[in-house]
Amino acid sequence: MTPFQFTIAVFGEAFKAIRENMVRCILAVVGIGIGVFSVTAIMIVVLGFKTKLDNQLNTIAPNLIVVEYKQSIKDKLIGKMESLSFQDYIDISNDNLDISNLMATVHPVGFVGKISFEDRFHSTRVVGTGANYLSAYKSFPQYGRYFLEQDYAEKRRVAFLGATVASELNVGPENIGDFFLFNDEWFRLIGIGEEKGRLFGIDQDDYIHIPNNTLNSMIGDEYNSDTSISFSFNDSGNAQNIKSTIKTLISENHFSSPEFVKNVKFTDTKQSVKEFDSISSGVTYIALIIVSISIVVGAIGVTNTMMASYKERIREIGISKAIGATNTFIMWQYMVEGASLTLLGGAVGAVFGYMLGVGLTTVVPGLVTPQVNFLYLVLFTMAFIVLGLTVGYMPAKKASSLTPIEALDTH
């Protein structure tokens, strides 16, 4: 018998045995399939979430440093509101530090932007930014332009709208340069942002940006503001001295609260990316552990199926050996049968799990459907073939070690 004929005969006998024990084999396949199905769906959603966040983090300049006041939970619970001030930003900008892309971002607490254009109205969140916002966050206008230094210096009443706001007001590129009412004051539309979609259910395109000092003059002392300051080091070797200088400048503006400067934190976007990658890797490893446990449980089911099949077919094995079947043929027949069951269970579970995962990433706003890596498919297939050969080895060894007389004498 040639190797090709041997292979055809082995597969033929293995598939014949599967057909004869269809119900039992289906249950074994379902056992593995359910575990793979659930974990595949979870992995697709996790990867979709990770891809979305990766895309968001990639929009931030890699060397950006963000200075924020990290308020304690206790202070928040008792209603104590503290933040960096716009004066902190002014003092830092006047100190001639060796930094670039310096910018203050102002989020007034409780201040809602009420916009009206012709006969249409929309309320949105208000953000005060500077001319360096684009270079820092790589957020480019779809139409028009962003702020210039002159807009900031002259406290111009100009505004940049998110895609959602533009859609709600039905404004487009033809309206660039038009005026609209923003909280009962006239502002000029200079640009419309690119669409970013949703993240954590939050519409990232529902905003109005105005120059931070223009916003500061509008709200005055009437509203508290959550202000952050961002910049880039020109020379990272001098980073520690610059941070110390900035903390000193901030402490001078908040001398009435000695503990204030202790809660001023510097966040490096590179470190944030590393931390997120670490978290996502941890989630991936946990999912892999879960799928491993599920596969082991399914493999035990396949082993039980194979052992039951072996015991029911002992006389058949004896007849096969009596008419010339070799130990190698019998052994490979059982191992191929086990590999077929595990591979089929894994494939069915993966396909349906992928379909569910893709469906969820499509339905849930803000998630991105990840691309399937061909290498992973190859590794997945090889893993389940090896698993099938492994779980089929014990019954295959028992079956191949029987002599024709022992097998035929079994009742």
User: Tell me: the pLDDT tens digits for 97-144?
Assistant: 888 778 888 888 777 889 999 889 999 999 888 887 877 776 778 999
Q: Is the pLDDT reported for residue 411 higher than 60?
A: no
What pLDDT digit, counting tens, does each position of 279-290 carry? 777 777 777 777
Q: What is the dihedral of CA 366, 367, 371, 376, to 10 degrees?
A: 160
The top-scoring range by mean pLDDT among 200-204, 259-263, 268-272 is 259-263
The band of 192, judged by pLDDT with boundaries at 50, 70 and 90, is very high
Separation of alpha carbons 191 and 301, rounded Å: 62
Q: Is residue 314 scored above 70 in pLDDT?
A: yes
Contacts of 309 (CB under 8 A, 6+ apart): 17, 21, 24, 337, 395
Which of 60, 216, 212, 236 lies closest to 146 in space, CA to CA? 212
**Quick one: pLDDT band at residue 35, thresholds 50, 70, 90?**
confident
- Reading the block at residue 72, the tokens are 């304690």
Whole-angstrom distance, CA of residue 131 vs CA of residue 174: 23
Confidence (pLDDT) at 363 = 75
CA 42 to chain centre: 11
Given a cut of 60, whether residue 44 has pLDDT beyond it is: yes
Q: What pLDDT, on the 0 to 100 scale, is given for residue 328?
A: 84
Three-state DSSP at 267 gives: strand
The pLDDT of residue 395: 79
Tell me the C-alpha distance between 292 and 102, whole Å.
49
d(CA 5, CA 28): 29
User: What does pTM read for this prediction?
Assistant: 0.61
Taking residues 239-255, report their average pLDDT: 84
- Residues facing 227 on adjacent strands: 84, 106
User: Picking from 135-149, 159-173, 202-216, which range would have the lowest pLDDT averaged per residue?
Assistant: 135-149
pLDDT mean across residues, the chain: 80
**Maximal CA-CA distance, the chain:** 102
Give the model's pLDDT for residue 208: 92
d(CA 236, CA 234): 6
Q: Using CA atoms, how far apart are residues 8 and 4, in angstroms rounded to an integer?
A: 6
Q: Supply the pLDDT for residue 168.
A: 93
* 374 has a pLDDT exceeding 80: no
Mean pLDDT of all residues in 43-57: 72
At 257 the pLDDT is 72
> Are 357 and 31 contacting, i.e. CB atoms less than 8 angstroms apart?
no
- The pLDDT value recorded for residue 227 is 83
- State yes or no: pLDDT of 164 exceeds 80: yes
Average pLDDT, integer, range 225-242: 80
Q: Region 57-84: what's the mean pLDDT?
A: 71
